[in-house]
């Protein structure tokens, strides 16, 4: 795929490689080496935090080291993690999407109501839900790219619009898990459990890990992925280099909406029921931004990786579970996550300095 | 007398579980999962659980959602408790239908699950429910209002209902329908409020159970009929909002009977101040306390808690608080209520 890409991409790629080489030449000593490694692989920071946290929490409460507990953390971060992939894509373009959680909840409601209110087969309702997600994402992207509105404002608006539409359309009614299981089992597909070597996991975990792998590959190794970085790094330069930035932006927001749809489907599997009052509608955006930021993705765009976001989401999950198993008050979790956010950005700034 | 009986039954159950707990000495752990951490109702619940945990030598972990509908955090909490090998879970489900799958997995793993305050649907999703009889709580308030007005007054009453929200959660339906039944109004579907045909009901509105909502709802209903003279409120905060609305709109609140349900300290003080005329008090401390004791018993003997006779849950009791008692409706004084209140 890379071989037949156009020449302007080559220039983008070559230029980035040169920058790294130049930076290596300037630095020396132990700190300099760390600088260099971290600059090349910013996700190493959250990775080290996770490894240390796992060791410490396990020493406090051995239950933490059980395979079951670790698999449980993956289930717990899966939904925010998929929202995080969507959020990461948007933030890499120097945007932000405040509507991801609201889209998720609204899509669960759409999938549920098409199945139960209109009697459409669950499989088709799922496709309709995914399409609705892509459409909502497209609307966000269109307003950002064509109307030139700031992403924060656009999605602040659509967040409220989608959330309100969700409550109105659903009449605030919860669809019960028992009913879904009996009549629309496909909706709960990702909640099914399988076990490998004694560890139990849900299909939802597989979906999460696969999406991380696929989107990470697309971002790092395809022309489209490099365009996404280029738009976020310097929109004008990208345009001059021949990238259709408006098109890329709209595509990114649309894909983000589609990812919210997948997250919605996974969420139905995890929770069993469909509830328009789900708290993800209100805090899903902040949770996903937290994962992105701890994962070392720059809010100014153009930098960071999906692997980083994955580790960021995992960090939050590891701390939540670990602190609770250690018997700490829940507020300590939020306090520590706050510290992690600020620490992550501080480290990010330090790493950025060298890239000058 | 019925109130005294239920309280007596609770006390007896308490004594039984207390003695049986002496036998157990191995480590037992329990989780308390509330809707939020900040609501005084749940603060009191936590207090009761901690008290019992100390007495019974039970290791207690507490969890909560960030706000009332945050069932996602509650699911995470259930999973964490199971992973940590808890013997039992006490939970006030935020959105009961959304927690069924998680509760089922916990029970499959051999954990005793007890719902506190809010029942699941169906109620046997949990092993047992420790709760207030909300219908009875409403009925006491309704019967008291009717007796206070007298035969003729009750026949010409104009009633306003201030409920929680349009989703009609069970707790709100039970209290409303209990009140209407206690007042002598014929119910249609007892699973819905607002479908009665009795012309004495001016209207039902929603308050979200807070003063702002109570005020707005009362304003709406006063706009329909200025002469409302009986107010049923889902809780005291909503009732106090209704009082503000009447003052602002030129209705003398002293001519109106205002009743609530809940029994938090600010609410009982409102009864003392004459803002609310009577309120039914529930006992969150007892719910959690009995819950922890039931987990201890279950861990020691494998025995699950039994429901109150004639009901499908364990009734933790309710008492009407008023300083204007009437014949035929049992009540306790404001002073007694203040001793038992929370928040």
- List, for residues A40-62, the tens digit of each pLDDT value: 787 888 888 899 999 999 999 88
Name which of A205, A271, A288 to mutate to probe chain B: the one with the most chain B Cβ atoms within 10 A of its Cβ. Answer: A271
- Chain A residues touching B71 at Cβ < 8 A: 271, 275, 277-279
Would you say residue B234 has pLDDT above 60?
yes
Residue A67 has pLDDT above 90, yes or no: no
Instruction: Show Cβ contacts of residue A354 under 8 Å, excluding neighbours closer than 6 positions.
Output: A23, A26, A27, A35, A36, A39
Query: In angstroms, what separates the C-alpha of B234 from chain A's closest C-alpha?
Result: 19
Give the span between the Cα atoms of B328 and A237, in whole angstroms: 84
* Cβ pair B72:A271 closer than 8 A: yes
What pLDDT is recorded for position B19?
40
CATH number at residue A131: 1.10.3470
Partner-chain residue, chosen from A75, A275, A320, that has the shortest CB–CB distance to B71: A275
- Confidence band of B78 (pLDDT split at 50, 70, 90): very high
Helix A245-271 vs helix A67-92: crossing angle, to nearest 10: 160
Given a contact cutoff of 8 angstroms between Cβ atoms, the answer to whether A243 and A14 are in contact is no
* Angle, CA of A28, A30 and A31, to the nearest 5°: 85
Of B17, B39, B103, B64, the C-alpha closest to B299 is: B17
CA-to-CA distance for B118 and B126, rounded, in angstroms?
Answer: 11
DSSP assignment letter at B119: -
The verdict on a CB contact (< 8 Å) between A327 and B65 is no
Total structural domains within chain A:
1
Residue in chain A closest to B70 (alpha carbons) equals A279
Q: How far is B304 from chain A (nearest CA, A)?
A: 24
Confirm whether A26 is domain-assigned: no
Do the chains contact at B95 and A174, CB–CB below 8 Å? yes
Residue A27 included in any domain = no
Residues A251-271 pLDDT 10s: 999 999 999 999 999 999 998
Do the Cβ atoms of B102 and A275 come within 8 Å?
no
Q: How far apart are CA A315 and CA B70, in angstroms?
A: 21
Query: Quick check: A82 and A88 in contact, CB under 8 A?
Result: no
- Mean pLDDT value of segment B132-145: 96
Q: Which of B115-124, B136-145, B215-224 ranks highest by mean pLDDT?
A: B136-145
User: Residues of B numbered 131-170 whose beta carbons fall under 8 angstroms of chain A's beta carbons: which are they?
Assistant: 165-167
Is residue A248 within 8 A of residue A227, CB to CB? The reply is: yes
Which A positions 308-347 lie with beta carbon below 8 A of chain B? 320-321, 324-325, 327, 329-331
Residues A325, B84: C-beta atoms closer than 8 Å? yes
Closest CA to B229 of B258, B261, B186: B258
Distances (CA, A) of A268 to A278, A280, A291, B98, B154: 11, 12, 21, 10, 49
Q: Which of residues 70-99 of B touch A (CB under 8 A)?
A: 70-73, 75-77, 79-80, 83-85, 95, 97-99
**In whole numbers, what is the pLDDT of chain B averaged over residues?**
89
A290-305, pLDDT tens digit by residue? 999 999 898 999 988 9
Nearest CB neighbour to A178, from listed B67, B69, B100: B100
Q: What residues make up the domain containing A282?
A: 43-351
A193 pLDDT above the threshold of 90 = no
With cut-offs at 50, 70 and 90, classify the pLDDT of residue A348.
Answer: confident
Residue A272 lies in a domain: yes
Residue A32 lies in a domain: no
The answer to the question of residue A10 being in a domain is no
Q: Shortest Cα distance from A155 to chain B (angstroms)?
A: 23
* B83: nearest CB among A68, A177, A273: A68
In percent, the amount of chain A with pLDDT more than 70 equals 91
Q: Is residue A23 part of a domain?
A: no
Q: What is the pLDDT of residue A10?
A: 62
Inter-chain residue contact B101 with A191, CB threshold 8 Å: yes
- What rounded mean pLDDT belongs to chain A? 88
Q: Which domains does chain B have, with CATH numbers?
A: 2-132+283-312 (3.40.50.2300), 134-282+320-340 (3.40.50.2300)
Query: What integer pLDDT is reported at residue B14 of this predicted model?
Result: 45
In a domain, A28, yes or no: no
Residue A11: is its pLDDT beyond 90? no
Q: Tell me the ipTM for this assembly.
A: 0.70
Q: Do B83 and A176 touch (CB under 8 A)?
A: no
Share of chain B above pLDDT 90, in %: 73
Query: In the prediction, which pLDDT does B155 show?
Result: 95
At residue A46, the pLDDT reads 84
* Residue A5 within any structural domain of the chain: no
Kindly state the average pLDDT of the residues B283-307: 95
**pLDDT for res A6:** 59
Structure confidence by residue, pLDDT tens digits, B11-53: 444 444 444 444 445 689 999 999 988 888 898 999 999 999 9
If you write DSSP's letter for every residue of B13-29 in order, what string do you get? HHHHHHHHHHH--S-EE
Query: A102-161 pLDDT, tens per residue?
Result: 999 999 999 999 999 999 999 999 999 999 999 999 999 999 999 999 999 999 999 999
User: What integer pLDDT is reported at residue B20 of this predicted model?
Assistant: 40
**Whether residue A3 has pLDDT greater than 70:** no
How confident is the model at residue B17, as a pLDDT?
Answer: 43
Judged by a CB distance cut-off of 8 A, whether residue B65 touches chain A is yes
B100 touching A (Cβ < 8 Å): yes
**CB-based contact (8 Å) between A94 and chain B?**
no
CA distances from A259 to A153, A187, A265, A266, A324 (A): 21, 16, 10, 10, 30
């Amino acid at each position: 795929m890379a071989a037949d890409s156009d020449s302007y991409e080559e220039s983008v790629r070559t230029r980035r490689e040169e920058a790294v080489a130049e930076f290596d030449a300037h630095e020396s000593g132990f700190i300099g080496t760390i600088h260099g490694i971290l600059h090349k692989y910013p996700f190493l920071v959250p990775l080290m935090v996770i490894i240390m946290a796992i060791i410490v929490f396990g020493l406090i409460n051995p239950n933490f080291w059980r395979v079951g507990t670790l698999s449980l953390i993956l289930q717990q971060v899966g939904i925010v993690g998929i929202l995080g992939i969507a959020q990461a894509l948007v933030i890499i373009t120097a945007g932000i999407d405040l509507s991801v959680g609201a889209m998720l909840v609204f899509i669960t409601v759409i999938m549920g109501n098409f199945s139960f209110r209109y009697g459409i087969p669950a499989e088709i309702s799922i496709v309709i839900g995914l399409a609705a997600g892509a459409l909502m994402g497209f609307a966000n992207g269109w307003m950002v790219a064509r109307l030139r509105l700031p992403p924060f404002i656009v999605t602040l608006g659509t967040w409220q619009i989608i959330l309100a539409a969700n409550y109105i359309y659903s009449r605030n009614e919860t669809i019960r898990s028992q009913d879904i299981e009996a009549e629309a089992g496909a909706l709960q597909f990702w909640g099914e459990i399988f076990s490998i070597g004694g560890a139990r996991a849900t299909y939802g975990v597989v979906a999460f890990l696969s999406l991380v792998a696929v989107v990470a590959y697309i971002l790092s190794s395809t022309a489209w992925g490099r365009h996404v970085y280029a738009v976020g790094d310097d929109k004008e330069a990208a345009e001059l280099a021949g990238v259709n930035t408006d098109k890329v932006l709209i595509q990114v927001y649309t894909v983000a909406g589609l990812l919210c749809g997948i997250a919605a489907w996974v969420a139905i599997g995890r929770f069993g029921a469909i509830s328009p009052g789900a708290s993800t509608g209100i805090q899903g955006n902040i949770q996903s931004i937290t994962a992105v930021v701890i994962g070392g993705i720059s809010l100014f765009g153009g930098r960071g990786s999906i692997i980083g976001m994955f580790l960021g989401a995992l960090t939050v999950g590891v701390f939540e579970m670990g602190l609770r198993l250690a018997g700490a008050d829940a507020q300590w979790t939020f306090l520590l996550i706050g510290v992690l956010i600020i620490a992550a950005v501080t480290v990010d700034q330090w790493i950025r300095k060298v890239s000058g | 007398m019925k109130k005294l009986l239920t309280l007596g039954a609770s006390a007896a159950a308490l004594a039984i579980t207390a003695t049986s707990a002496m036998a157990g000495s191995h480590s037992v752990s329990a989780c308390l999962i509330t809707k939020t951490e900040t609501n005084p109702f749940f603060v009191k619940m936590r207090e009761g659980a901690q008290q019992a945990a100390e007495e019974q030598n039970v290791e207690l972990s507490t969890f909560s959602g960030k706000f009332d509908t945050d069932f996602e955090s509650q699911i995470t909490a259930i999973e964490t408790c199971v992973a940590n090998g808890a013997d039992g879970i006490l939970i006030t489900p935020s959105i009961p239908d959304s927690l069924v799958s998680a509760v089922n997995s916990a029970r499959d793993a051999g954990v005793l699950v007890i719902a506190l305050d809010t029942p699941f649907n169906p109620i046997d999703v949990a092993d047992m429910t420790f709760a207030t009889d909300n219908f009875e709580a409403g009925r006491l308030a309704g019967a008291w209002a009717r007796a206070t007005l007298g035969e003729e007054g009750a026949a010409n009453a104009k009633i306003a209902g201030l409920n929680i929200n349009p989703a009609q959660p069970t707790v709100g339906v039970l209290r409303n329908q209990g009140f209407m039944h206690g007042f002598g109004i014929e119910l249609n579907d007892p699973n819905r409020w607002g479908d009665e045909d009795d012309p004495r009901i001016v209207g039902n509105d929603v308050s979200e159970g807070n003063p702002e909502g109570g005020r707005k709802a009362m304003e709406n209903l006063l706009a329909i009929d200025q002469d409302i003279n009986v107010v049923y409120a889902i809780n005291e905060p909503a009732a106090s909002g209704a009082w503000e609305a009447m003052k602002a709109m030129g209705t003398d609140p002293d001519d109106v009977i205002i009743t609530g349900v809940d029994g938090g300290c600010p609410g009982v003080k409102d009864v003392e101040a004459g803002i609310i005329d009577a309120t039914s008090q529930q006992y969150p401390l007892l719910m959690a306390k009995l819950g922890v004791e039931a987990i201890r018993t279950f861990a020691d003997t494998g025995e699950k808690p039994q429901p109150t006779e004639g009901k499908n849950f364990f009734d933790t009791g309710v008492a009407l608080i008023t300083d204007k008692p009437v014949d035929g409706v049992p009540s306790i004084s404001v002073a007694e209520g203040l001793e038992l209140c929370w928040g």
